[in-house]
Chains A and B, each alone.
Chain A
Amino acid sequence: MTAPLTLSARNLCRRYGQRDVVQNVSLELGRGEVLGLLGHNGAGKSTTLQMLTGTLTPHSGKVEICGFNLQQQPDQAKACIGYLPETPPLYREMRVDDYLIFAAKLHRVPKSLLPGALDETKQRCGLQKSGRKIIGTLSKGYQQRVGIAQAIIHRPQVIVLDEPTVGLDPAQIREIRSLIRELGDAHSVILSTHLLSEVENVCDRVEIMQKGRLIYGDSSARMQQYGYQPGFVVTLLAPPPLDELQGIAGVENVEALSGTRFRIMHAMEANTSAVLLALAAERGWQAQQLTPLKGSIEDVYTQITENEPA
């Protein structure tokens, strides 16, 4: 890794009662990197993020943020973090502007920089027209934006977002994802999610969490290959007999989904789709649609957990 480290966590452990919720989690994050923490509900994602932001003390392990130890120099370390918890921490009776200024002051933004920071943050989060509104009257999507705004108003080095797109409509999700991408250029971002598509679209790197452990970590592109199954679904309006499809070079298995749709699995390296399309043009099968099979998070999990001794 070439970029300077902004966050490093080593061997974090956390128990609730007798139950180990997080075990031996170590994370590193460089500047300008977006890390996705992927896992099912209850995998320990939120607990890990709480420990990274100092709202929960780990039973053992160490967190360093921008070189400051979170336990020993909490004030300096926390000034470098912006945190959006699962439920956005909003004071419903406050106005958006007042709330954001309060957040900025708490994070020690100097008074002279306040108006600039406020305007910039509102512009980034699309809140220009909501400044005078009372937070309790905003819709869920806008409240989420205010939540993100309070996390970035002091321009922290590390931004921690706990499921930032939950409960938003698709258009808002797209906007927030592009905002996160944009933030990832200058800051380091950790976000937790249980959506694979979020990771694909936003993250540079993925860590998968299961039962309180990190079971897999790699670049986002390579993880998708992990779940990648060599195959595709093709629609042929004038299909040939199954045997003919089976006979194409590299094809391992053909399954008819309906009269015109076929799922074709092929060997890893073979370029079967191109061959099939060429044949279809040549023999008049009327190929209409070809969708590569995508690994779902379930597939990735199954594959990864199969390899891991549980």
Chain B
Amino acid sequence: MIFTIANKEFRSLFATPSTWLILGALQFIFAWFFLARLDAYLQVQAQLAFVANAPGATMTIASPLFGTLALMLMMLIPLFTMRLLAEERRNQTLVFLLAAPVSSSQIVIGKFLSLLLFISLVIASCTLMLAILGFGTYLDFGLLLANALGLLLLTASYAALGLYLSALTKQPIVAALSATALSFGLWLIDIGGADNANALRALSPTAHAQSLNAGLIFSADIIYFTLFIATFLLLTIRRVNNNRLYA
């Protein structure tokens, strides 16, 4: 059942031209940043050769690019989450799912999985683009994969957040705006807290993605992301269930 719903949502995503447009634009912009980074690296490469323990190509090119991609996805993911439940309520198709022999959790998890698959495709294509660096230099695949994992967890958190906000309203655009605003706020908490010890920073998903960005996988970060995603999915399930109580 979960996969039936996920499959349908995934196909619906690609049924709208705007998805293709956004994906194309994203690839283009990412490639642009990639070229700029590569260019900058080539200019300082000669000096780096004299530095002891100099950072490699992966560290100087790939890691910052993942940071950039994370910011872009933070703004783009609400565009994909906004429709998931808000539009179902607006078009009165949610009834179709509620009347079918599926539970609210199956509906929500199905929708979340479709989004996760979509995001993984985006991240995989960008990671592949970076992997072509391997033709010219030695590439630290461990660092690359840690970055990809970090980005996946980070964006999955945004997706769960967006899904919940989409469940709260009938207007997709309201869902999108509030999701962007909240993820933006969470990001500001991160960059606003100057010292590492700031307790508030622990709330921000981007702060937890930082060590993964540097290639360090801490279980605390993994647990944080899992909790973040689980919390919002549970809230969404509750919210969908409430549709049966107060229609």
Q: At the interface, yes or no: A165 with Cβ under 8 Å from chain B?
A: no
B101 touches A76 (CB 8 A): yes
Q: At the interface, yes or no: A107 with Cβ under 8 Å from chain B?
A: yes
Nearest-neighbor residue (CB-CB) of A76 within chain B: B101
Q: At the interface, yes or no: A83 with Cβ under 8 Å from chain B?
A: yes
Nearest-neighbor residue (CB-CB) of A78 within chain B: B101
B92 touches A54 (CB 8 A): no
B16 touches A93 (CB 8 A): yes
Q: At the interface, yes or no: B49 with Cβ under 8 Å from chain A?
A: no
> Shortest distance in angstroms between B238's beta carbon and chain A's nearest beta carbon?
14
CB proximity to B under 8 Å, residues A35-78: 50, 53-57, 74-78
Q: At the interface, yes or no: A98 with Cβ under 8 Å from chain B?
A: yes
Give the CA-CA distance A78 to B8 in the complex, in Å.
Answer: 20
Give the residues in chain B near A115, CB-CB below 8 Å.
none
Give the CA-CA distance A102 to B94 in the complex, in Å.
Answer: 14
A105 touches B92 (CB 8 A): no
Q: At the interface, yes or no: B171 with Cβ under 8 Å from chain A?
A: no
B99 touches A83 (CB 8 A): yes
Contact A75 to B244, CB < 8 A, known contacts A85-B92, A93-B16, A105-B4: no
Give the residues in chain A near B103, CB-CB below 8 Å.
74-75
CB proximity to A under 8 Å, residues B76-108: 91-103
Q: At the interface, yes or no: B60 with Cβ under 8 Å from chain A?
A: no
Nearest-neighbor residue (CB-CB) of A104 within chain B: B4
Contact A85 to B97, CB < 8 A, known contacts A91-B12, A93-B15, A106-B102: no
A102 touches B4 (CB 8 A): yes
CB proximity to B under 8 Å, residues A91-113: 91-94, 98, 102-103, 105-108
B15 touches A54 (CB 8 A): no
Give the CA-CA distance A91 to B8 in the complex, in Å.
Answer: 10
Contact A91 to B95, CB < 8 A, known contacts A54-B244, A106-B101: no
Give the CA-CA distance A83 to B100 in the complex, in Å.
Answer: 9
Nearest-neighbor residue (CB-CB) of A106 within chain B: B100
Nearest-neighbor residue (CB-CB) of A86 within chain B: B92
Give the CA-CA distance A254 to B11 in the complex, in Å.
Answer: 69
A89 touches B92 (CB 8 A): yes
Q: How many residues of B contact A (CB 8 A)?
A: 25
Give the residues in chain A near B16, CB-CB below 8 Å.
93
B244: which of A56, A103, A105 is its contact (CB, 8 Å)? A56
Give the residues in chain A near B194, CB-CB below 8 Å.
none
Q: At the interface, yes or no: A215 with Cβ under 8 Å from chain B?
A: no
B8: which of A77, A92, A102 is its contact (CB, 8 Å)? A102
B245 touches A57 (CB 8 A): yes
> Shortest distance in angstroms between A283's beta carbon and chain B's nearest beta carbon?
63
CB proximity to A under 8 Å, residues B1-22: 1, 4-5, 8, 11-12, 15-16
Q: At the interface, yes or no: A173 with Cβ under 8 Å from chain B?
A: no
Contact A53 to B99, CB < 8 A, known contacts A91-B12, A93-B12: yes
Give the residues in chain A near B243, CB-CB below 8 Å.
55
Nearest-neighbor residue (CB-CB) of B102 within chain A: A106
> Shortest distance in angstroms between A50's beta carbon and chain B's nearest beta carbon?
7
Q: At the interface, yes or no: B51 with Cβ under 8 Å from chain A?
A: no
Give the residues in chain B near A102, CB-CB below 8 Å.
4, 8
Q: At the interface, yes or no: B223 with Cβ under 8 Å from chain A?
A: no
Give the residues in chain B near A103, CB-CB below 8 Å.
96, 100
Q: Give 24 pairs: A residue, B residue, CB < 8 Å, sorted on A.
A: A50-B247, A54-B98, A54-B99, A55-B95, A55-B98, A55-B244, A56-B247, A57-B245, A75-B101, A79-B101, A83-B95, A90-B91, A91-B12, A92-B91, A93-B12, A93-B15, A94-B12, A103-B96, A105-B4, A106-B1, A106-B97, A106-B100, A106-B101, A107-B101
